[in-house]
Structure 1
Amino acid sequence: MMCSKIGQILLSVICITISLISAQDGDVVFLRALKDDWKNTPPSWDHSSDSCDSSWEGISCTNGRVTRITLANMQLSGELSGHIWQFTELQILDLSYNKELIGSLPPEVQNLRKLTELTLVGCGFTGPIPDAIGNLESLTSLSLNSNSFTGSIPASIGKLKNLDWLDLTGNKLTGSIPVSNESTPGLDMLSNAKHFHLGDNQLSGEIPPGLFNSTMTLIHLLLDNNKLRGTIPSTLGLVTSLQVVRLDRNSLSGNVPPSINNLVNTSGMFLSNNQLTGPIPDLTGMNLLNYVDLSNNSFDPSPAPSWFSTLLALTTIKMHNTNLRGELPRDLFRIPQLQKVDLSSNMINGSLDITSNPSTQLQLVDLQHNQIEGFIQRDQYEDSIVIILADNLICRESGVTDRYCSSHTNITTYSTPWNNCGPASCVSNLVLSPNCQCAYPYKGSIYFKAPSFSSLENSTIYLSLHNSLMALFQDAGLSVDTVSLKNPRRNADDYLVIDLEFFPSGVPRFNRTGILALGFALSPLKFIPPEGFNYIYFFIPESYEFLPGTKHKSSNTGIIVGSAVGCCVLVGILVLVGTYCFLRKKPAQQAQPFALWDPTSGSGGVPQLKGARSFTFEELQKYTNNFSEINNIGRGGYGMVYKGSLPNGQLIAIKRAQDGSSQGGLEFKNEIELLSRVHHKNVVGLIGFCFDKGEQMLVYEYIVNGTLKDSLSGRSGIRLDWIRRLKISLGAARGLQYLHDHADPPIIHRDVKSTNILLDERLVAKVADFGLSKPLSDANRTHVTTQVKGTMGYMDPEYYMTQQLTEKSDTYSFGVVMLEIITARKPIEKGRYIVREVKEAMNKNKELYDLKEVLDPAIGFSSQPNGLERFVDLALRCVEDTGNQRPTMSEVVKELESIMELIGLNPRIESSSSTSASYEGTSKDYNYPDSSDSLLSYSEGSLPSKLYPE
């Protein structure tokens, strides 16, 4: 222990000495510290003595100091350590779409006083947003959306007088919206802000009237999908600059204030799915309004409002289930830009007349579930306009076959057209671009939250978006050959979603520099889409397999200065290092428990193993064909995973630690001793390990059918019916029960998820990946107090709040997996949480709890899936907020066994043995993807505990 402390002190002295002596660059010390803190940093991050040369990809400087760090979608993993807060000249920090960047945002963020843009979109950050954020007085953009931040919105944000863009969408924020008073600031003080994006959270309370005032310059107010209640404040009408208002999917009630029509610059008004009452709001005078959605509110019964036909910019009218009644005026359909009218589920009667010069852009009139008696339509409009009158009086007569009496599903299949080039094919995983070039594209989806149009079939719309993107790339000097747009659609939140593929120019794939430049260009602050899209959007990229980066040389100046500095301190460093090595020499065996252990002779320090054997490096090198690329079946934060074959033919999976991720010898010894004691048919078995030639490797049994997630998503080609899903659930539950009740010592897995449940050749479930597991000692038989780690969406909220890890934390995660098994949905998808989705959708008074909309159709509904309701009940008990309300895994196993008995199966036989005939497809040598969800990899924040000293 003393030696370790002395060594740390000496190393610290060396680093501090170099940073003080070096006249050229102090920031390089902190860059190197970041390189040590994070995994998967760009390979070009060498040991340059100049932080401002091209070796540091994603780093930009001004006057010799680091002013910009942009590392979006680089597959970084780790936490925001104290080192990043040392860049006191930093102006832009963008670490977006690195899902394995986890942990909290510490108060030290306030050190970045010159920061203008803080962008941490789509990462894995948790915990509260610190009040210290309000000390960043230069901040103009704060984008923390699509993380798992909790707690309330800091009132201190109101002190950011220069803030233009505030985006906290898609977190778990609670509490009320802060407004100022005599002692505290609030969001109402942000008179220069144009964007309040606070949707998809759990904000509660009323929308405070004091939030709005006439000095504000807001153009986008997004409060959708929260738990807000009370009335819409009349003060909203004071902010006449507003262009988009989204208050939908809350619990707002009462009358819509008459002042709403003061918003004369508004193009999109979304008030749907609330509990609004009183008269239908009068929107007269809102002449720029394109898109209005008032659906699913309880307005007073009334005829279609007269303002319909006066707002000539309208493209979309949605008033589903709003108590409309009476006959529709013919003028309604003459609005010149009208594309879609949805007035379904009302009490509209009389005759529908669409004969008087309807809009040439009109595509859909949905009036199903009304009381319409007649329909008049000119023949020339019959094919161009889709009319839906199902469940109206006109369609209830026997023998009616008119096509307008059936429901209609509009499927859009647009994709960017080919540029007059002949047919061609590409090898390997390359894709043919619209310019007929074979390349590996950078893919993602772009979401527009409030487009002004409804039509998804107008190719001119997508051409304008394509041209805007290409102009952006050309202006930025990016080597993008073309962009392909595909599959435009509206999602459940009424966002327009378009899939994009970006193709590189002149090379088969982008390198890291190219991806960094693309990510920076696609920021909402940089790219403004063409008219009609409204630039409230976000881009979600897919992970990308990079070309190896070019290793840059340090600048000559850096070499000269570095050499001079090195000469000055060389003697001192040698003395310090020599002293350090001398002090370390005697206790070497204690620091490296395997240092004197020869696995062939059984000498001292041998770990106490049960059933696991040691391998030499040469053996594993031979079994994997020298760790060849073809044997590489995955990777994670710990390192690469290779497939191998033992001399007896047994297949193995070898998890090989990458440089920099190896833990200490003592910790490695403890881990293999723990894993070697785990033996159960529903737990992936440890065959052995390698601690040789500086390598640390774990050798597991190879599981041929990959992860449960791969089968649920269809990626593996295996179809899982209800019976098979039930058997898999029981197998996985038994594996966890074994860890809790029978392992010695008991083990809490801490990262239960569908990617850590593997399926063997008979589709028997096996729990895998113990990188975050915690044993329960004799002194801590009920819980372990430990730093919060795990995967967002599966994590126990009680563990997160108290930092007390219990066996019931695994129960919670398993409950989420159970919901994933019956829905085939991700736990968190586009900001929507599967637990909440199921709870809100279910109705116990109806068949299958009325969950058919959220259940995976592949389960099969041709016959009643017996036991599914009990399965849902059990899953929801597992995801109760507090651990004392959840069952133990032993109780979960018993209930699953009872469900199997209910449907006539013997749980003792069926869950442990089945044949390949029980599912579609045959057992195969599964090709594990090179992604964060690979076999036995530490994924989605699931990093080995050794990387986080506790």
Structure 2
Amino acid sequence: MGVRVLAILLVILLGDSTADAATNPDDFSSITGVKSAWQNPPPNWVGADPCGNAWDGISCTNSRITSITLSSMGLTGSLSGDIGQLSELRILDLSYNKGLTGSLPVQIGNLMKLTNLILVGCGFSGRIPDSIGSLRNLVFLSLNSNRFSGLIPAAIGNLDRLYWLDLADNQLTGSIPVSNGSNPGLDMLLHTKHFHFGQNQLDGTIPSQLFSSEMHLIHVLFDNNQLTGSMPSTLGLVQSLEVVRFDRNSLSGAVPGNLNNLTSVQELHLSNNRLTGPLPNLTGMDALNYLDLSNNSFDAADFPPWIPTLQSLTTLMLEHTQVRGLLPVILFSIFSLQSVVLRNNQLSGTLDIGTSHSNQLQLIDLQINFIDDFKQSSGGYSVEVILIGNPVCQETGAAGQSYCAIPQSNTSSYSTPPNNCIPATCNSNETSSPNCKCSSPYMGTLVFRAPSFSGLGNSTYFEHLARSMMTSFQSYQLPVDSISLSDPRKDSSDNFKLNLSVFPSEGVSFNRTSISSIGFVLSNQTYKPSKLFGPFYFIADQYTYFAEAQVPTTSKKSSNVGVIVGAAAGGFVLLLLLALVGVYAFRQKTRAEKATEQSNPFVNWDPNKSSGSIPQLKGARWFSLEDLKKYTNSFSGASEIGSGGYGKVYRGTLPTGTLVAIKRAQQGSMQGGVEFKNEIELLSRVHHKNLVSLVGFCFEQGEQLLVYEFLPNGSLKESLSGTSGIRLDWAKRLKVAIGAARGLAYLHELADPPIIHRDIKSTNILLDDHLNAKVADFGLSKLMGEGERGHVTTQVKGTMGYLDPEYYMTQQLTEKSDVYSFGVVMLELLTARRPIERGKYIVREVRVVMDKDKELYNLQGILDPAIGLGTSLKGLERFVELAMRCVDDSGADRPSMGEVVKEIENIMVFAGLNPKAESETSSASHEEARKGNFRHPYSNEDFLEYSGGFPPSRIEPQ
């Protein structure tokens, strides 16, 4: 009887995992059919249980195969129609297997639950089957870089959940399908954001019906096709667009006049067509980085005066466009300008690039024009100027001038340098990594279809790319030691290419699971570079150095050995079963404790050590410490994205793929306990699009962790300082200001009870991927309780430079203290200077130089050049006035945050922007302050450092 009980317990302990391991018979039959069509399936695809035996690339849920990810496995053969029988399949990624050939089976349309179909860089050919239009759950369709031919299936228009559509770099022919009565078309894809159709053989006209104001497209790429006719004016209705490529077609007629409605477009390529009429007027396209209208038949005209107003411009390409006249000096003062290419035009007069040209300017190519003089500054110039074919180079002595010489190849030899080490000497199959370790890297080519820059000599871009990619790999806990980028170049289609090498962190080579996982991060666009680089794809080289796992084999044993082993095993069985009983009891106890902790995570909360009573929550999610360690790779240094007085912040990835920011308090910090309680109580009760959302928290084993939504563009301070790579022009700064103001106004006027933030500063204003501002860090925030609406007496807390002087001297905290801090942030938006910098306080500096009778209130000397100096900064003076009202010494004379919101909205309307579109302590201490024991916090003596006199509280240096 006892043995039976023990056996039952054993089944209870192991039964679930045994049941889950068995693969559904139908799925096994189907995957066997798929395997049989391949000459070299993965070596561990043996046995009858793909789920239980963890076949490489196979993922299962409840015995059903739900994912096949086999990128870069060197597979050869075809894709069998048996794939269509895997009815629970959600992800299919066979990218970078050039040996996979033949047609895509019609049965692919049976995979009704498929969300991701990724076949990048294979050898598939033939027509894309119409049955693909049956995959109504498809979100990601990427068939680029194959040999597909025939028409684009009109049935793709049925895929109303589609986000990513990439059919580029194939041999597709025919016209662009649009809906017609009962027939679907691409115009029905209202929620799709990516149309990638470049480098095919599409012909016919671009249907005007293709585009509408209801679409959410951000990338439209039809370059390198055979399209004819005119560009449809409906393109100007898709105001979400960021990248537009119609270059290298046979388009004719005039460019639509409403194209300048696309104020979010960053890259516009219309070169190498047959466009006629006047050069399009792109005034107002203030986000434009890269403009290429070259090699068209536009009407002869003077150099357009609107071009110098495009203050985000990095690259201007107007080769062979019949532009004439004098180039204005102001063109070269555009802050971000890198390249100007105006070959084969009718430009004349003197070339003068001025003395205040952009320090990023690298190339001015004006070959074959009528320029008769070049005015050089006395200090010389560092820009490559090419004037061959101009009269200036035909004068006596001109032959010795560098600008009249044949230019050298403008290629970059950049390669990721060693990381403070000496490169290792490796054998022929291995390479020295940036960390100077010999290993066999996973290699391939990154191709960026529309980068926002043209200067390939700026290593900062590549360093930023390498860091972001490494962070992405580590956030998914991939065994990557380092990556190397090399040989930046442009191809004939103006695509930007880089060689990528990914080095393993374990051993000298990757195993198949690691290669497949790295490939999926790239093929599935899970890794997202900054908008600086634009849309990309990756083509992997074949990897042949797999660190193979040993496939278990059955050894032949003699019967005598079997008997001996059996007898020995029998001797231990009773002890084993007894141990299992103990394990079972321990697991039951652990489960009970965990269930208790989940239902009451603050069961171990100590009011004496944790700063007060148990936090009162409204809907925040509890995470275990073990889970958070998994999400952050055990809080590794690679996952760390910030730190402060409270502790450190880590990037984490939830099982759903969602990125989060995890703030971990320093253990034993009483101050951390106060902030921890504040944040989870406040953020669990307030919800606004301009406040950072609390995903959850962890209070376990003495640890205090907060889990927030992850905002990819970092803090406002990082953008203003230039460390994020984001350039904020005037319109973007107004957008940031209105977002942060709305978040604060919500806290002051709509939250119940009202909340004073107490630590508004540029590091606590975060930016999402659309540069929407969100207020963060509520560790110092204060609830305004009953009877405290006007003010509350409290110890002074905040950050020097942003701290309200009135609050500092009286200890009377009101909403107007936040208003003061916000006013300082407004001045920071204008100047990009820290509030206290080199002994100077920004509020006083603005007051000293401000003169309302002069242009821009005489602030040109302290305004941030990246704001767009030299362009129309409508509303800037009103913005300055509002900021100075916010930092008035008297709180009573400051506006409320509601009034601040209304005034910024009015400023935006005045500037031609749509504000609605931007929205989607003790009485003893008080008595001490009343007696005047505190100085003004920004008196001259306090500029450089604080050495005493503050109340015992948290006041951080700026």
The answer for the alignment partner of 1:478 in structure 2 is 478
The answer for the alignment partner of 1:349 in structure 2 is 348
The answer for the alignment partner of 2:273 in structure 1 is 274
Structure 2: unaligned runs, 5 residues or longer? 1-21, 555-958
The answer for the alignment partner of 1:258 in structure 2 is 257
| CA distance in 2 between partners of 1:56 and 1:29 (Å) | 14
The answer for the alignment partner of 1:309 in structure 2 is 308
Deviation at 1:510, TM superposition (A): 1.0
The one-letter amino acid paired with 2:545 is F
Q: Structure 1 residues 344 and 25 mapped into 2: Cα distance closer, same or farther (>3 Å)?
A: same
Deviation at 1:41, TM superposition (A): 1.0
Q: Could you tell me whether the CA contact under 8 Å between 1:66 and 1:89 is conserved in 2?
A: yes
The answer for the alignment partner of 2:297 in structure 1 is 298
The one-letter amino acid paired with 1:320 is E
Deviation at 1:238, TM superposition (A): 0.4
Q: Structure 1 residues 380 and 54 mapped into 2: Cα distance closer, same or farther (>3 Å)?
A: farther
The answer for the alignment partner of 1:460 in structure 2 is 460
CA shift digits 1:413-472 (9 cap, x unpaired): 111111121353112321111111011111111010101011111221111111111111
Total equivalences in the alignment? 531
| CA distance in 1 between partners of 2:509 and 2:241 (Å) | 42
Q: Could you tell me whether the CA contact under 8 Å between 2:23 and 2:63 is conserved in 1?
A: no
Are 2:412 and 1:442 equivalent residues in the alignment?
A: no
| CA distance in 2 between partners of 1:197 and 1:54 (Å) | 39
Which of 368, 393, 396 matches 1:395? 393
- What SS does the aligned partner of 2:28 have? helix
- What SS does the aligned partner of 1:109 have? helix
The answer for the alignment partner of 1:904 in structure 2 is none
The answer for the alignment partner of 1:220 in structure 2 is 219
Q: Could you tell me whether the CA contact under 8 Å between 1:55 and 1:552 is conserved in 2?
A: no
Are 2:188 and 1:185 equivalent residues in the alignment?
A: no
| CA distance in 1 between partners of 2:478 and 2:347 (Å) | 55
| CA distance in 2 between partners of 1:553 and 1:317 (Å) | 62
The answer for the alignment partner of 1:336 in structure 2 is 335
| CA distance in 2 between partners of 1:447 and 1:214 (Å) | 30
Q: Could you tell me whether the CA contact under 8 Å between 2:82 and 2:107 is conserved in 1?
A: no
The answer for the alignment partner of 1:209 in structure 2 is 208
Q: Could you tell me whether the CA contact under 8 Å between 2:71 and 2:519 is conserved in 1?
A: yes
Q: Structure 1 residues 157 and 531 mapped into 2: Cα distance closer, same or farther (>3 Å)?
A: closer
Q: Could you tell me whether the CA contact under 8 Å between 2:149 and 2:172 is conserved in 1?
A: yes
Of residues 90-99 and 522-531 in structure 1, the stretch that sits farther from structure 2 once superposed is 522-531
Q: Which runs of structure 2 are paired with 1:876-891 in the superposition (5 Å)?
A: none
| CA distance in 2 between partners of 1:172 and 1:50 (Å) | 39
- What SS does the aligned partner of 1:306 have? coil
Which structure: larger Rg?
A: 2
| CA distance in 2 between partners of 1:166 and 1:423 (Å) | 42
- What SS does the aligned partner of 1:350 have? strand
- What SS does the aligned partner of 2:379 have? helix
Q: Which runs of structure 2 are paired with 1:793-812 in the superposition (5 Å)?
A: none
Q: Structure 1 residues 495 and 25 mapped into 2: Cα distance closer, same or farther (>3 Å)?
A: same
| CA distance in 1 between partners of 2:123 and 2:170 (Å) | 10
The answer for the alignment partner of 1:53 in structure 2 is 52
Of residues 364-373 and 120-129 in structure 1, the stretch that sits farther from structure 2 once superposed is 120-129
The one-letter amino acid paired with 1:74 is M
Q: Which runs of structure 2 are paired with 1:260-659 in the superposition (5 Å)?
A: 260-382=259-381, 384-400=382-398, 401-408=400-407, 409-534=409-534, 536-552=535-551
Q: Could you tell me whether the CA contact under 8 Å between 1:40 and 1:74 is conserved in 2?
A: no
| CA distance in 2 between partners of 1:252 and 1:71 (Å) | 40
- What SS does the aligned partner of 1:133 have? helix
Q: Could you tell me whether the CA contact under 8 Å between 1:418 and 1:435 is conserved in 2?
A: yes
The one-letter amino acid paired with 1:396 is Q
The answer for the alignment partner of 2:78 in structure 1 is 79
- What SS does the aligned partner of 2:486 have? strand
Deviation at 1:23, TM superposition (A): 8.3
| CA distance in 1 between partners of 2:24 and 2:392 (Å) | 83
Q: Could you tell me whether the CA contact under 8 Å between 2:118 and 2:523 is conserved in 1?
A: no
Q: Structure 1 residues 554 and 262 mapped into 2: Cα distance closer, same or farther (>3 Å)?
A: farther
CA shift digits 1:59-87 (9 cap, x unpaired): 11112210100111111111111211110
| CA distance in 2 between partners of 1:549 and 1:418 (Å) | 29
| CA distance in 2 between partners of 1:158 and 1:110 (Å) | 14
Deviation at 1:248, TM superposition (A): 0.1
The answer for the alignment partner of 1:96 in structure 2 is 95
Q: Could you tell me whether the CA contact under 8 Å between 2:332 and 2:354 is conserved in 1?
A: no
Consecutive aligned runs of 4 or more in structure 1 exceeding 6 Å deviation: none
Higher relative contact order (CA 8 A, sep 6+): 1
Q: Could you tell me whether the CA contact under 8 Å between 1:433 and 1:484 is conserved in 2?
A: yes
Of residues 25-34 and 85-94 in structure 1, the stretch that sits farther from structure 2 once superposed is 25-34
- What SS does the aligned partner of 1:373 have? strand
Q: Could you tell me whether the CA contact under 8 Å between 2:112 and 2:136 is conserved in 1?
A: yes
The answer for the alignment partner of 2:158 in structure 1 is 159
| CA distance in 2 between partners of 1:439 and 1:270 (Å) | 41
The answer for the alignment partner of 1:168 in structure 2 is 167
Of residues 316-325 and 36-45 in structure 1, the stretch that sits farther from structure 2 once superposed is 36-45
| CA distance in 2 between partners of 1:303 and 1:63 (Å) | 69
Q: Which runs of structure 2 are paired with 1:119-158 in the superposition (5 Å)?
A: 119-158=118-157
Are 2:235 and 1:239 equivalent residues in the alignment?
A: no
Q: Could you tell me whether the CA contact under 8 Å between 2:103 and 2:126 is conserved in 1?
A: yes
Deviation at 1:548, TM superposition (A): 5.0
| CA distance in 2 between partners of 1:362 and 1:291 (Å) | 14
Q: Could you tell me whether the CA contact under 8 Å between 1:157 and 1:187 is conserved in 2?
A: yes
Deviation at 1:381, TM superposition (A): 4.6
CA shift digits 1:819-868 (9 cap, x unpaired): xxxxxxxxxxxxxxxxxxxxxxxxxxxxxxxxxxxxxxxxxxxxxxxxxx
CA shift digits 1:541-595 (9 cap, x unpaired): 111113352145599xxxxxxxxxxxxxxxxxxxxxxxxxxxxxxxxxxxxxxxx
Structure 1: unaligned runs, 5 residues or longer? 1-21, 556-950
Deviation at 1:397, TM superposition (A): 2.5
Q: Which runs of structure 2 are paired with 1:923-942 in the superposition (5 Å)?
A: none
CA shift digits 1:899-948 (9 cap, x unpaired): xxxxxxxxxxxxxxxxxxxxxxxxxxxxxxxxxxxxxxxxxxxxxxxxxx
Deviation at 1:313, TM superposition (A): 0.3
| CA distance in 1 between partners of 2:315 and 2:379 (Å) | 22
| CA distance in 2 between partners of 1:24 and 1:302 (Å) | 71
Q: Structure 1 residues 56 and 23 mapped into 2: Cα distance closer, same or farther (>3 Å)?
A: closer
Identity %: 53
Q: Could you tell me whether the CA contact under 8 Å between 2:166 and 2:195 is conserved in 1?
A: yes
Deviation at 1:102, TM superposition (A): 1.1
| CA distance in 2 between partners of 1:233 and 1:23 (Å) | 53
Deviation at 1:30, TM superposition (A): 2.1
The one-letter amino acid paired with 2:164 is W
Q: Structure 1 residues 385 and 24 mapped into 2: Cα distance closer, same or farther (>3 Å)?
A: closer
| CA distance in 2 between partners of 1:32 and 1:468 (Å) | 39
Q: Could you tell me whether the CA contact under 8 Å between 2:285 and 2:310 is conserved in 1?
A: yes
Q: Structure 1 residues 52 and 379 mapped into 2: Cα distance closer, same or farther (>3 Å)?
A: farther
CA shift digits 1:730-778 (9 cap, x unpaired): xxxxxxxxxxxxxxxxxxxxxxxxxxxxxxxxxxxxxxxxxxxxxxxxx
The one-letter amino acid paired with 1:172 is Q
| CA distance in 2 between partners of 1:419 and 1:474 (Å) | 18
| CA distance in 2 between partners of 1:71 and 1:346 (Å) | 51
Q: Structure 1 residues 119 and 423 mapped into 2: Cα distance closer, same or farther (>3 Å)?
A: closer
The one-letter amino acid paired with 1:225 is N
TM-score by length of 2: 0.54
The answer for the alignment partner of 2:105 in structure 1 is 106
Q: Could you tell me whether the CA contact under 8 Å between 1:207 and 1:232 is conserved in 2?
A: yes
Deviation at 1:105, TM superposition (A): 1.4
- What SS does the aligned partner of 2:32 have? helix
Deviation at 1:177, TM superposition (A): 0.3
- What SS does the aligned partner of 1:532 have? coil
Deviation at 1:40, TM superposition (A): 1.4
Q: Could you tell me whether the CA contact under 8 Å between 2:51 and 2:60 is conserved in 1?
A: yes
| CA distance in 2 between partners of 1:213 and 1:381 (Å) | 51
- What SS does the aligned partner of 1:349 have? strand
